[in-house]
Chains A and B, each alone.
Chain A
Amino acid sequence: MSGWWSAVLALMLVAGQQNPFAGFLDQSANRKDAKPNEAVRYLYPEQVGVAAGKPTPVELHFEVKSGLHINSHTPKTKDLIATSLAVPGNAGVQWKDVQFPTGKDFVLPVAGAPGGGDHLSVYTGEFVVRGMVTAAPGQHLVQGSLRYQACDNRACMPPHTIPVVLSVMAH
């Protein structure tokens, strides 16, 4: 019986160090960690499987750091920098019908500025960019990039670009 209690205690100690939901967390560990000055990180997928030659919907998931916002793909004024996805031409892969989510309306809450600041269209938290991928048979590495410009309620950081790397397996 004392052997059982030893086993229970050992398991408790292990649980304190390592998460039993490791499978779930490992998925997020595979996500590319953002550098300290990066307000947005690409979450997933790292790999997609598609039927060769057949347009297939693909969703790219991104996350804006807590407390920050970035302009949507369609900011309300011309001088604001839109979030955009660049996917370089690749002989084996075609991206079409790229669709960005609709931005959320946002007004900077500022004391001393009646009505706040400009009305903005922004992304916060997780957002998804959708597109149709058509690929020739085989494996293709797509090296795209997402450009964005981030702010919090009191300051903005310069525009920044992060890599979006996706392996496309077409069977």
Chain B
Amino acid sequence: MRDKNFLVAGLAAVVFVMIAAAGWANWQNRKHLAEMQAQRAMEPVMMGNMAGGQGMDAGTMTSPMVGKQAANFTLTDVNGRKVSLADYKGKAVQLNFWATWCAPCKIETPWLVELEKQYKPKGFEILGVSFDDLDLDNAAKLKTETTDIAKSAKQLGIDYPVLLDGDAISKQYGDPEVFPTSFFVNKQGKIVAATMGLTSKDDLENNIKKALGAGA
């Protein structure tokens, strides 16, 4: 009888250890799955990095907009001037979606300023499109917000047009969910490349050359 009790207690201990081990494995598995989900939330950015890092076609990897005709739009710049994409017909254009609260955008901007100067003589222009929130129903607030964006652009050395209210054209450009995002439009008005998230200066330059076409 006593031997049997020992045997039962021993088996109970074995069972407990097995359950604990299985539980631990299960918990680890769930933790891993949660981490995978977090990674997926930033998938577009990761895809952008992968494309840039491995020298693949970043535009094709990062946006379904590549290969489509760039939708025309008219927005107001920080100086109150109406600017349309159609005004740049026959030029290669980079649409740079950014925001004053976006730290990676601030890293990219000096590169854009340099590249714009370098390739302007070849027919290249940049349009900065701000995605900062605007209170369009409150004139006083709107003025302050516009001034803040203009001030930030000046501090970054931006000398290309900075357009307001990017949200108004977001749908036409696939509702970008991360910033910076850039679309490179060739002289025929077609989107030939896109980047989502911060990429290297070399990648930006390659995309500019693609937009300018052969001989750039």
Q: Chain A residues in contact with chain B, CB under 8 A?
A: 4, 7-8, 11-12, 15-16, 18-21, 25, 36-39, 65-68, 79-81, 108, 110-113, 117-118, 120, 149, 151-159
Chain B residues near A11 (CB-CB < 8 A): 15, 18-19
Chain B proximity of A70: nearest CB distance (Å) = 11
Chain A proximity of B192: nearest CB distance (Å) = 21
Q: Residue B197 at the A interface, CB < 8 A?
A: yes
Residue of B nearest to A116 (CB): B107
Q: Chain B residues in contact with chain A, CB under 8 A?
A: 8, 11, 14-15, 18-20, 22-23, 26-27, 30, 35, 37-42, 45, 48-49, 99-107, 111, 131, 133, 148, 152, 177-180, 196-201
Separation of A39 and B198 alpha carbons in the complex (Å): 19
**Do residues B131 and A158 form an inter-chain contact, with CB atoms below 8 A?**
yes
Residue from A66, A117, A153, A154 within 8 A of B35 (CB atoms)? A66
Residue from A20, A68, A158 within 8 A of B38 (CB atoms)? A68
Chain B residues near A81 (CB-CB < 8 A): 101
Residue from B27, B37, B45, B199 within 8 A of A19 (CB atoms)? B27
Separation of A153 and B14 alpha carbons in the complex (Å): 47
Chain B proximity of A4: nearest CB distance (Å) = 6
**Do residues A120 and B103 form an inter-chain contact, with CB atoms below 8 A?**
yes
Separation of A122 and B111 alpha carbons in the complex (Å): 25
Chain A proximity of B30: nearest CB distance (Å) = 7
**Do residues A15 and B45 form an inter-chain contact, with CB atoms below 8 A?**
no
**Do residues B148 and A79 form an inter-chain contact, with CB atoms below 8 A?**
yes
Chain B proximity of A68: nearest CB distance (Å) = 7
Separation of A36 and B39 alpha carbons in the complex (Å): 10
Residue from A37, A67, A110, A152 within 8 A of B177 (CB atoms)? A37
Chain A residues near B200 (CB-CB < 8 A): 111-112
